[in-house]
Amino acid sequence: MRITIKQQILLAPAMILLLLLLLLGFMHYTYWDLNTKRRDIRAAETTFVALAEADMAARRLHVLLRVIQHSGMAAPEDLALIVDLYERLLSAIDRIEPFGVLKSSGHLEYLSDLARSLNPTAGLEPEDTAPLFAELRAELSGLSNLTQNQRNRLRQAHDQDINQLVERTVLVSIAVLIFAVLLGLSISIYFSRRILGRIQTISTSAARIADGSLELPPMPDRIQDEMDVLARSINRMATKLIQVVGTEKLLEGAEEERRRIAMDLHDQSLSDLSGILRGLQHLSSLHKNDDIGTRIVALESSLNSAITNLRDIMNNLHPQTLDILGLGAAIEAHIDQQGQREGAPPCHLYVDPRIAELNLDRIRQLALYRIAIEAIQNVLKHASANRFEVNLELRGSTLVLSVEDNGCGMNADDINNKGRGLNNIRERARTINAEVNWKPSRFSTGTRFELCMPTDIPT
């Protein structure tokens, strides 16, 4: 089952919260039963008070009726009192709340029927009310004793339940809290060790890569969470880095070989040709007017041309201007050399003075120089332009090399083709962590080539 890092982090507090919710549910259920018993106690107290009021009203009503029976006459205020006492009797009986055994027995219905049979407005004779009052009071007395006993039993049970509830609640709460804490700690320790161990493995692999040990980190068999995604990404990054470093080493080796060949040509071939040229020049001074002298002059001219071509080859293999004067001067020397050719379009060159402060290493200078030369050669060979511009400048912390012409332009197929020149530009740019693109020129026609490379200077 796939569990994300977020879910692993939230699992422990979620389990603790769930256990606490279950504990609250248990306590609510326990207190619900206690609340039911409390309601029965309140009902018993209310019933006991109502029975006492009903008994008092019945007794006074009976006494008043007996007084009227002996005197043989009733004053209006006595009749009003009889009606009031009877209403109090009915009101007290209505306030009786059934609880416990009273819910299932018929005592309350029987008591209510007895009270209604004593209605003074029904025309009962005083001698007929005596047994009814006796029966009513006996029923009230029995219900009062029953209510009192039930109330005492409920109070005792309630006190016992409270003690048991407090004891049980404390024990269950402590047990649940201890279990929740232990469970949360166990889950947290398990997932934290698991996550930290994988982070340590990834960190170790990244540190080895940063130290130059290009060993591929372990690849997870399947993706379970974000750590596996990160491990797979680092593995892919290391693979790409190995490819880039391999390409960089290859290019560096090629540049070193170019430099060695240029030095060999300078120290051996060019020196030998220069010696031959000096010998021809000496022979030419000895034979000025004959046919041999003319041939010697022709050979001298051909040899001078060969020496010039050899110097060009040496400069292309490894430009000495780049080592001596820097990147901007090397590009300018190449443009001046190309501008001397017949039919070459004029070029405007701008080199930002801050470029000299960058202290670019030899690999990046060589890569930028080769890219610039290749882009310029593309303009001269394919653009059919009558002017072009070369700019080497800083934009913030980014070095920007651009070559822009007003020629025939390039379409998408030309830009995306797999030709050697454009591929060389892309590969060299990749080795120095630069981005290249081709887009329409700011002139009415033509192409703009642009390279952007981050530098180490602050913005």
Per-residue pLDDT tens over the stretch 330-380 = 888 888 888 877 888 999 999 999 888 888 888 888 889 889 988 998 898
Query: 56 with 153, same domain?
Result: yes
Which CATH number characterizes residue 244's domain?
Answer: 1.10.287
Q: Are 317 and 261 contacting, i.e. CB atoms less than 8 angstroms apart?
A: yes
CA-to-CA distance for 83 and 86, rounded, in angstroms? 5
Structural domain boundaries, residue 257? 222-318
- The per-residue pLDDT for 459 is 38
pLDDT greater at residue 218 or residue 181: 181
pLDDT tens track for 147-189: 777 777 777 766 666 677 677 777 888 888 888 888 888 888 8
- The per-residue pLDDT for 1 is 54
Q: Is the pLDDT of residue 11 over 90?
A: no
Q: State the total domains in the chain.
A: 3
**CA-based nearest residue to 91, from 115, 60, 120, 63:** 115
Type of residue at 94: D
Query: 104 with 252, same domain?
Result: no
Task: Check: pTM over 0.75? Answer yes or no.
Answer: no
DSSP assignment of 7-54 equals: HHHHHHHHHHHHHHHHHHHHHHHHHHHHHHHHHHHHHHHHHHHHHHHH
Q: Is the pLDDT of residue 124 over 60?
A: no
| Mean pLDDT score across all residues of the chain | 76
Q: Is the pLDDT of residue 399 over 90?
A: yes
CA-to-CA distance for 424 and 189, rounded, in angstroms? 53
Q: Are 214 and 238 contacting, i.e. CB atoms less than 8 angstroms apart?
A: yes
pLDDT greater at residue 207 or residue 266: 207
98: left (phi over 0), alpha (psi -120 to 50) or beta: beta
Percent of all residues in the chain with a pLDDT value above 70, rounded to a whole number: 70
Query: 13 with 83, same domain?
Result: yes
**CA-based nearest residue to 431, from 420, 423, 419, 443:** 423
72: left (phi over 0), alpha (psi -120 to 50) or beta: left
- The per-residue pLDDT for 402 is 95
pLDDT tens track for 24-54: 887 777 777 667 777 777 777 787 788 888 8
Does any domain span residue 199? Answer: no
**In Å, how far are 23, 349, 373, 374 from 334, measured between CA atoms?**
85, 11, 8, 11
Query: 175 with 229, same domain?
Result: no
Q: Which long-range contacts (CB under 8 A, 24 or more apart) does 110-119 make?
A: 110/139, 111/136, 111/139, 111/140, 111/143, 114/139, 115/54, 115/58, 115/89, 115/90, 116/90, 118/58, 118/61, 118/86, 118/89, 119/86
Query: 314 with 337, same domain?
Result: no
Query: 287 with 259, same domain?
Result: yes
Q: Is the pLDDT of residue 414 over 70?
A: no
Other Cβ atoms within 10 Å of 296 Cβ, number: 21
Percent of all residues in the chain with a pLDDT value above 90, rounded to a whole number: 9
Query: 69 with 170, same domain?
Result: yes
Does any domain span residue 195? Answer: no
CA-to-CA distance for 41 and 52, rounded, in angstroms? 17
- The per-residue pLDDT for 458 is 43
pLDDT tens track for 231-271: 777 777 777 766 666 665 655 666 666 666 666 555 556 56
Does any domain span residue 205? Answer: no
CA-to-CA distance for 408 and 381, rounded, in angstroms? 12
Does any domain span residue 208? Answer: no
Other Cβ atoms within 10 Å of 71 Cβ, number: 10
Does any domain span residue 56? Answer: yes
CA-to-CA distance for 54 and 415, rounded, in angstroms? 109
